[in-house]
Amino acid sequence: MPSVSVPLKGRKGWNALMESRRKFWRSGKNNILSPHFKATEFYCHDGSACPTRARPAMIGLCKQFLEPLRAKFGEAQVLSGYRHTLYNAQIGGARHSQHIYEETYECVAADMRFAKGTPTQWGAEAKRLRTKNRGGKGGVGVYPRSGFVHIDNRNYKADWSG
């Protein structure tokens, strides 16, 4: 099912892959996804760099969802973007999570928090943007108790709350 074959963290080839990705993101304007978001904000919490093939989907996520949400709700924080397979398993993420950009480099996810509003309001606006910008396609997960919203640009509609 993976879109791209990559070594698991700690295995032969992982360090070279990460250095190659970091070099790409440092080159030119590759790190800039939109006026207010950079690829480095989406790096895995263990410091692993995002797959370079995911850049177009990351730009799309920023353009279609994150920038408009930021304009409405103020400063934005990417709580979780990219996760490699082992990290995702360690934190109990869904097996085929949209956060695992190697599996879904054409569709990516971000868990977000904004300066104003509530997760319920952020989710409602993300659903409105999904209808307006993506023909109803994309995932929106609302987590009121944890204080964030999950947004992804998958090619089908998915809604949930946690």
Query: 142 or 4: which carries more pLDDT confidence?
Result: 142
* Residue 8 resides in a domain: no
Supply the range of the domain harboring residue 120.
Answer: 14-161
* Residue 1 resides in a domain: no
Q: How far is it, in rounded angstroms, from Cα 45 to Cα 79?
A: 9
* Per-residue DSSP letter, 3: S
What percentage of the chain carries pLDDT values higher than 90? 91
Using the predicted structure, report yes or no on whether residue 2 has a pLDDT greater than 50: no
CATH number of the domain that 45 lies in?
3.30.1380.10
Query: SS3 sequence, 47-102?
Result: CCCCCHHHHHHHHHHHHHHHHHHHHHHCCEEEEECCCCHHHHHHCCCCCCCCCCCC
Lowest mean pLDDT among 10-19, 46-55, 122-131: 10-19
Using the predicted structure, report yes or no on whether residue 4 has a pLDDT greater than 70: no
* Residue 68 resides in a domain: yes
* Cα dist from 50 to 3, 4, 31, 56, 85, whole Å: 14, 13, 10, 12, 12
* Residue 2 resides in a domain: no
* Residue 53 resides in a domain: yes
Counting every residue, how long is the chain? Answer: 162
* Residue 54 resides in a domain: yes
Q: What is the mean pLDDT of residues 76-82?
A: 98
Taking a C-beta distance cutoff of 8 angstroms, is the pair 69, 62 a contact?
A: no
* Residue 9 resides in a domain: no
* Residue 117 resides in a domain: yes
Is residue 63 classed exposed, middle or buried when 0-12, 13-18 and 19+ CB atoms within 10 A define those classes? middle
Tens digits of residue pLDDT in 92-133: 999 999 999 998 899 999 999 999 999 999 999 999 999 999
Using the predicted structure, report yes or no on whether residue 32 has a pLDDT greater than 60: yes
Q: What is the mean pLDDT of residues 139-158?
A: 98
As a whole number, the mean pLDDT across the chain is 95
Total number of domains in the chain: 1
